[in-house]
A and B are shown apart, each in its own frame.
Chain A
Amino acid sequence: MTDENTDVIQGTLDMLILKTLSLEPMHGFGITRRMEQVSRGVFKINPGSLLTALQRLERAGWLDSEWRQTENSRRAKYYSLTRAGKKQLEKETADWARRASAVARLLKVEA
């Protein structure tokens, strides 16, 4: 644990989960591990928040879930992206890119 790690930026957790699941269906801890790996430990995800977000996304119709065997033959709930979820991810990605580049431009001007 270093001082560098932070909570996920407000409002981006949903998008990050969708992105992570766009590669393959995963269970809860799988999502956490993947996001920590890819972010190189910058984002730490708390299981309570993750499960809440997963419930929210499932209710929105962007995710499906089912109980399955893991590779080391334990049982876990796997989440996968639905078609609506894919569309939502595209939308949110484009939206984020637009905002991020705008923020980046603003910061550059300030400097």
Chain B
Amino acid sequence: MAFLRSLIYGIRNLLRRTKRERDIADEIERYFEEAAAAQVEHGMTAEEARRTIRMEAGTMSSARAQANSYGWENSVSSFFSDLRFAARQLARHRAFTVTATLTLALGIGANAAIFTAIDSILLAPLPFNHADRLAVLGTRYSNTGRTTRRVTGPDGVDVRDQAKSLEAVSLMAGGEEGVQLRDHATYTEVTWVDENFPRVYSLQPIAGRLFSDAESHRSALVNEQFARNNFGSAQAALGQTVHIENEAIEIVGVLPGSFHEPGKTEVWEAFSLLPESKSRTAFNYRAVALLRESTSFQTAQTELNSLSQRLQTAYPEDNRNKQMVALPMTEALTGSARPTLMLLWGAVGIILLIACVNVTHLQLVRSMTRQREIAIRKALGSSRWQVMRPVLLESLLLAILGCAAGLLLALPAVRILIAMAPKELPRAGEIHLNGWVLAFTMAISVLTALVSSILPAMRAAKVAAADAMKQDASRGMERKGAARLRDGLVIAEIAATFVLAVAAALLLRTMSTLMTSDLGFETQRMLVVDADNPAHTDDDYRRMLRQFDEIFANLAAIPGVEHVAGVMGLPMGPYGSNGNYNTRGGLPVESHHAPEAIFSVASPEYFQTMGIPMLRGRDFNAQDAYDNPFVVVISQSVAKQSFGNIDPIGKQIQCGLDSDKWMTIVGVVGDIRQNSPAENPGPALYMPMKQHPAYANQIHIVLRTHVKPLTLINTVHSEIARANPLIAMRFTTMDSIVNESITAQRFRAALISLFAAAGLLLSMLGVYGTMAYTVAQRTFEIGIRMAFGANRAVILRAILRHAAILAGIGIAAGLVLSLLLARLVSAMLVGVQPMDPASLGGASLLLLLTAIAAASAPGWKATHINPLAALRAE
């Protein structure tokens, strides 16, 4: 209560300062009048009375000052007057203010932008109900330590039925599928889920209903967006029939537009609680689970451990070393983005540090020129705190300016970040500025203010009045300590920039490795069509194969098209299979160590179309039909690992793609990089489409063209639609598929290079500032030296050598830091070692040149000092 009253009084006085002062002055005047009147009553003359009162009560003005100084609001108003003083100072030194603000804005803006991404991706809770109880189930092999985020059907069912710590478990499968609507077909992500799925995610349909277990392969839920795009509204979608994999599916419910798990699913088709795959070694399903309330992941994992033990005992062959695991959903969804985001955060942290050092440096230079002012203040009795306060307040004001400018910078930066982000970046759509980001930005701004002003403020406090008055740097008497401090800051800056430059160099080298790596096939002028030809029955498959034959022939006849082929398992494409294989007539194989290969299914002319060299034997041809002996083409690595020096042609291979039939090797082709340019070329088996129809309906049609591939889209589209309008299509080029496969690396390389460039710019400013200041301070000294006949070259060399020495020390320090930090990025590098000498050397050279370039302007100025003018200056 008393506190509140004091607060109100104080605020009232702050707002009406003059009234309070007038009141007090008035009251004191009356007081003295009364006192005088009382003395006069005692028989004094008015003159005597005044003198007496003066002796006893002091002057009116000292009483006024004492009465006015009461109240907390006085410290506030003196704070404000200091603040006004600081603001005036900043306004007067405009160059300083603008440079410092922009420097801070760069550092703060970069941090705000990256933190926005980190906050939205890693820190914000997932936008699901009970997000902290959601888990992704996976399987870990305890012997190899490898974890897959998939489960086999029977294992998943056992976990669902037996784990008491899990409230609900849902198995699911799916991916990109063609969905046939009444008059057209569209490509989208379709996921088959069981009836537990909505329970795991606590989903309520916004229209219609959920499905039950009895509706397997008959009913589906769709996303609101999908309903709107294809039917006009959520209501209109209800009761509609779509075809997926040639099954008629009725839409029974619509889920909110914001929900599209897993991935970008738009259609959830019902499948049975009893999964079709009964194999305990085929990881055909993904599984999500909801932990029971107040059950920890640890408890759940403990239960899964004992459950896995039971399964290992019950199925010693299939479940050997198999361990079921429950990963928190947050980790499963965003864990992959963590290293990249942390790398970026580290980089912007360094930028902020460099910015702080630069501002510290600017402040120091300014405080040198202010030493006399401070000395005079001290001589007049200012306390340490009073001397430090203006410096701190100036920094605070700068930080506020920097914070505001930084946020302005962060807004577009975040947008650019999202636009640049690789497709795999989770939750990219959720990235936005919010209160937390604002709080973070303000916090780092205040921190920046403190960090960058602490040295200058301490120096101000240490100024000894007498010394400062004597010392005058413009006469070459600068204190040694001051120069050393500035040099130290420059060295720190260069070291930090060096680390960024090395990181950028390593990531750029990784990029160039990836972009120039020989993929084993040609990517230019190649149109890729995702084509999904619905098929279900044997008749469907026969029709589908016939249609594709016809389509390939028609497409090949289009002017500008060189070769056409179809493939399941396009390099860097969404489909593919792999597994073990056995050979007859090959090298002996250790048991439990069957060789592995990638399985692809292709039409004749595929190798020619892709530009994969046929090394031996022949391509597929029309004779390789379903009823004829099965054939296979192997890649060079298969030949090497399974046949050595034996000629593989005519030998036989068996693999578990879809049949156990032995296939005769008819050809050997070159190896390709299948999944990413970052991967090594490896073993692959190619099988003809006609002998594996189950894998031949969802394929990529590849066209090698003479012309720009995208110009053919319309012709190709109408040609395919003419054969079958229900084939869902999507077009792209091989170049862009390859490009997209390295977006994560490109994203990192581009951002880190950008940050390194920013760091370089700031360091350059730092070096330039130091050198320019030194030259300005030493004008007198240089003038004398020149008057005594010093050579211009000598003076220039001295200044450049100074810069080079600072750079050298900074680079050495940076080298040590890089050695310590290198292993953090090693996982992101391809084809280059963390201690790559070229990168380290390049960064060293770059920084050295930058430092010398930054010093050369002040150096040049120094050589043009006119000795006479310099000596006369003071």
List A residues at the B interface (Cβ < 8 Å). Answer: 1, 27-30, 32-33, 44, 46-49, 51-52, 55-56, 58-61, 70, 72, 74-77
Contacts and interface: CB of A to CB of B under 8 A. Distances in A.
Q: Shortest 10 CB-CB distances between A and B: which pairs? A: A48-B66, A29-B34, A51-B67, A48-B63, A47-B63, A52-B70, A28-B31, A29-B31, A76-B30, A59-B6
Contacts of B62: 48
B9 A51 contact: no
Contact of B30 (A1, A28, A32, A33): A28
Interface stretch (B50-58, B528-536, B662-670): B50-58
Nearest to A51: B67
B2 interface: yes
B30 A27 contact: yes
Give the dominant DSSP class at B's interface: helix
Interface in B35-51: 35, 37-38
Contacts of A61: 1-2, 5
A58 B6 CA distance: 9
A56 B37 CA distance: 27
Given A52-B70, A59-B2, A61-B5, A46 B30 contact: no
Contacts of B32: 47
A51 B63 contact: yes
Query: Which of B31, B57, B62, B69 lies at the interface centre, i.e. has the most chain A CB atoms within 10 A of its CB?
Result: B31
Given A29-B35, A56-B70, A46 B58 contact: yes
Contacts of B63: 46-48, 51
Contacts of A60: 2, 5-6
Contacts of B26: 77
A46 B2 contact: no
B203 to A, nearest CB: 60
B124 to A, nearest CB: 46
B28 interface: yes
Given A1-B55, A60-B5, A48 B65 contact: yes
A33 to B, nearest CB: 6
B518 interface: no
A29 B38 contact: yes
Given A60-B2, A61-B5, A47 B28 contact: yes
A74 B29 CA distance: 12
Contacts of B30: 27-29, 74-77
Given A48-B65, A59-B9, A76 B58 contact: no
Query: Which of B2, B5, B9, B30 lies at the interface centre, i.e. has the most chain A CB atoms within 10 A of its CB?
Result: B30
B27 interface: yes
B331 interface: no
B66 A52 contact: yes
Contacts of B57: 46-47
A1 B56 contact: yes
Nearest to B28: A47
A77 B27 contact: yes
B68 to A, nearest CB: 9
B1 A72 contact: no
B522 interface: no
A24 B35 CA distance: 19
Contact of B5 (A32, A44, A59): A59
Contacts of B71: 55, 59
Contacts of A58: 9
A48 B67 contact: yes
Contacts of A77: 23, 26-27, 30
Contacts of A74: 30, 33-34, 37
A51 B34 contact: no
Nearest to B32: A47
A61 B27 CA distance: 20
Nearest to B13: A55
Contacts of A75: 30
6 contacts: A46-B57, A48-B62, A52-B66, A55-B71, A74-B30, A76-B34
A57 B28 CA distance: 17
A27 B31 CA distance: 8
Given A51-B24, A52-B67, A33 B5 contact: no
A52 B30 CA distance: 16
Contacts of A49: 66
A51 B34 CA distance: 15
Given A47-B57, A51-B66, A60-B2, 10 more contacts: A27-B30, A29-B34, A47-B31, A47-B32, A48-B63, A48-B66, A55-B67, A58-B9, A74-B30, A74-B37
Query: Which of A27, A28, A59, A61 lies at the interface centre, i.e. has the most chain B CB atoms within 10 A of its CB?
Result: A59
A76 B69 CA distance: 21
B281 to A, nearest CB: 82
Contacts of A52: 66-67, 69-70
A1 B53 CA distance: 11
Interface string B433-451: 0000000000000000000
A36 to B, nearest CB: 10
Contact of A27 (B2, B9, B34): B34
Nearest to B24: A51
Contacts of A29: 30-31, 34-35, 38
B48 to A, nearest CB: 14
Contact of B58 (A27, A28, A48, A56): A48
A83 B785 CA distance: 83
Nearest to A47: B63
Contacts of A32: 31, 35
A55 B70 contact: yes
A44 B34 contact: no
A43 B66 CA distance: 19
A1 B5 CA distance: 39
A60 B1 CA distance: 9
Contact of A30 (B23, B27, B34): B34
Contacts of B28: 47, 51
Nearest to B38: A33
B463 to A, nearest CB: 34
A26 to B, nearest CB: 11
A47 B71 CA distance: 17
Given A51-B63, A55-B67, A70 B34 contact: yes
Interface in B57-90: 57-58, 62-67, 69-71
Contacts of B27: 28, 51, 76-77
Contacts of B33: 74
